[in-house]
Structure 1
Amino acid sequence: MTPSARLPVSATLLRRLAFASIVANVAIVGTGGLVRLTASGLGCPTWPRCTDDSYTTTAEMGMHGVIEFGNRLLTFAVGAIALAVVVAVLSHRPRRPELVPLAVGVLLGIPAQAVIGGITVLTDLNPWVVGLHFLASMVVIAVAYALWRRIKDPAGPVVPVVPVVPAPLRTLARLTAVVSASVLVVGTWVTGSGPHAGDHGAARNGLDPQTISQLHADGVFLLIGLSVALVFAFRAVGAAHAARAAGILVAVELGQGLIGVVQYLTDLPALLVGAHMVGSCLVLLATLSMLWSTRERRPVQPGRDDDRRPAMASASRSAAPSA
């Protein structure tokens, strides 16, 4: 008997581990922000070693070295959680092979992130590479979220996805998700043009901070407008769960927007910039939650080809104009 058969992992434990992976990946974004905002980006001036002669920080490197090395150590903790998730997925009974690619994707994303982080150090904190480092974290968080949600779905790799809102609203939801992603990308450009370079000698991307900040703000206004439209549209077709998810997205966007405005008006204090970075993760998660709420997976009974029809018919009737 294999160890996984002797020690099967419950669905509850599997969900908790997957959720812990999301939290850990958001946390490392926050600590990465701490590295940059304290000008500790080159606290360890090389990679993978901390110095040419040591893998660890030295007393001569001071607090900047401690902060940078501490962030590197946290990568191992995040990786350990991701590895635990993979083991849990393989140990879960009944086994769910559809979860394996997502769990492995999160696990492989951790060392990939470490390599990108190393490149940022080796390129003296090139702002474009730093931005890529942040966006790669967003990808890992998105995959971790997909795993967590998929665990809650019925088991089976071929369980059909059933839309719960009409096709035009699903298209609007996807458009909102695209705009949300573009806001994150442009946000890295804003950061790369601003004062928090991660080190006093690091270069900036050369973009005009006011111009790129305005572009970022325009994207945020568009995102909020689309999200508010989704709230009313989902309510109009009776999709209460989707409307609630869209409402949470609006609330998160407004909170993130408020932080952004205040930090801009107060000359970008480090504490607010750090909060804005973590807020970006919350916007991503709220966007994914909204997108996920537009569909659901329902187990199909053998010999029943019409299991998908009631939901589709209900969505069509909800979308039809009343007489």
Structure 2
Amino acid sequence: MPSVSEPTLLRRLALASLVANIGLVVTGAAVRLTGSGLGCPTWPKCTDASYTTTREMGVHGVIEFGNRLLGIALGLIALATFVAALWHKPRRRPLILLSLAAGLGIPGQGVIGGITVLTDLNPWVVGLHFLLSMALISVTWALWQRTKEGDAPTRALVAPPLRHLAVLTALVSAAVIVAGVIVTGSGPHAGDEDAKRNGLDPATISQIHADLVFLLLGLSVALWFALRAAGAPAPAIRAAAVFVAVELSQGLIGFVQYFTHLPVILVAAHMLGACLVWVATLNTLWRLRDRPTPAPTSPSTTAAEPAPAPATVA
């Protein structure tokens, strides 16, 4: 059976960590959308007497406890990724630091999740829980990409005005996500029928969110056209096109869910879409630069052969 090389193993673990962090967002959405936010009414135990769900707690307890189990699985993946980064030869400091950051974020998620339960699903704490997931998606994305690169200095592939436009687009993308979190905190899917909302007017916050979405779409389309006009590398143009496509899909889901009074399945799809929009944002930024990998040198090119001795005449 062929063995997996250290770089390949680390790359696969980094990808698994990224996917698991996105999965945690989706299962967290399932907890909230099924009203299972207090399925385990305390923390760190599921009940005062048990760390696991009980038969009496029903399906809500199973859903909430399942989400907690996924958090544990995510922690194990993060630990394995960190160990793989330490074993990587040659040892690379960026990979170690990124994998460490991803690992430390998991207990942070657990603590915030516990505070969420202990505060009876305070919408601002729930929002912080989601935003930490987005930060961990950023870290694990960067880790996965860095496993494919060397440690040479980055090289810009486009002119500064295009980079500035891309950064502005990314900032607006982040603002859209934050606004979406606030919209969620004002809406009906609180995770429990007795949970409080943030008190903001859902229609007003939704309008602000929609305005930011239109701004983001305009900027990302402009970035795509600008990259094409400037003759940017194909990966950068392709990344910008994917970014626009993901935004359009997410926007369509958002409008349909709003005008159909937030059906659970569409809200869950919108939560997954938020993760994909952010990944597409990161991908677009990443494709505007690269890290040149030096060509390996062979002994024949590094050491010149000694010149032959001149012939002597007898």
Question: Helix, strand or coil: the match of 2:147?
Answer: helix
The residue aligned with 1:282 is 276
Matched, 1:244 2:266: no
Which of 95, 103, 107 pairs up with 2:103?
Answer: 107
Which of 249, 269, 273 pairs up with 1:255?
Answer: 249
Q: For the Cα contact (< 8 Å) 1:8–1:91, is it kept in 2?
A: no
Question: Helix, strand or coil: the match of 2:191?
Answer: coil
Q: For the Cα contact (< 8 Å) 1:116–1:133, is it kept in 2?
A: yes
Cα distance in 2, alignment partners of residues 45 and 16 from structure 1 = 36
Cα distance in 2, alignment partners of residues 163 and 218 from structure 1 = 31
Which of 292, 298, 302 pairs up with 1:298?
Answer: 292
Quick one: structure 1 residues 292 and 153, their matched pair in 2 at CA, closer, same or farther if it must change by over 3 Å?
A: same
**Equivalent residues in 2 for 1:1-323 (5 A)?**
9-154=5-150, 156=151, 159-239=152-232, 240-299=234-293
Cα distance in 1, alignment partners of residues 141 and 110 from structure 2 = 20
Cα distance in 2, alignment partners of residues 120 and 9 from structure 1 = 41
Quick one: structure 1 residues 116 and 47, their matched pair in 2 at CA, closer, same or farther if it must change by over 3 Å?
A: same
Quote how far apart the aligned CAs of 1:236 are: 1.2
Structure 2, unaligned stretches of length 5 or more? Answer: 296-314
Quote how far apart the aligned CAs of 1:12 are: 2.0
Cα distance in 1, alignment partners of residues 140 and 65 from structure 2 = 25
Quote how far apart the aligned CAs of 1:98 are: 1.9
Amino acid across the alignment from 2:279: L
Cα distance in 1, alignment partners of residues 94 and 293 from structure 2 = 14
Quote how far apart the aligned CAs of 1:300 are: 5.8
TM-score by length of 1: 0.88
Cα distance in 2, alignment partners of residues 255 and 134 from structure 1 = 21
TM-score by length of 2: 0.91
Cα distance in 1, alignment partners of residues 279 and 72 from structure 2 = 23
Q: For the Cα contact (< 8 Å) 1:192–1:204, is it kept in 2?
A: yes
Question: Helix, strand or coil: the match of 1:50?
Answer: coil
Q: For the Cα contact (< 8 Å) 2:36–2:61, is it kept in 1?
A: yes
How many aligned positions are there?
293
Cα distance in 2, alignment partners of residues 168 and 69 from structure 1 = 49
Question: Helix, strand or coil: the match of 1:152?
Answer: coil
Cα distance in 2, alignment partners of residues 80 and 220 from structure 1 = 36
Quote how far apart the aligned CAs of 1:10 are: 2.7
Moved over 2 A (4+): 7-10
Q: For the Cα contact (< 8 Å) 1:8–1:92, is it kept in 2?
A: no
Identity %: 66
Question: Helix, strand or coil: the match of 2:46?
Answer: coil
Q: For the Cα contact (< 8 Å) 1:9–1:92, is it kept in 2?
A: no
The residue aligned with 2:310 is none
Cα distance in 2, alignment partners of residues 9 and 75 from structure 1 = 27
Quote how far apart the aligned CAs of 1:94 are: 2.0
Quick one: structure 1 residues 8 and 90, their matched pair in 2 at CA, closer, same or farther if it must change by over 3 Å?
A: farther
C-alpha root-mean-square deviation of aligned residues, in Å? 1.4
Q: For the Cα contact (< 8 Å) 1:176–1:227, is it kept in 2?
A: yes
Amino acid across the alignment from 2:126: V
Amino acid across the alignment from 1:145: W
From the CA coordinates, give the structure whose radius of gyration is larger: 2
Amino acid across the alignment from 2:270: H
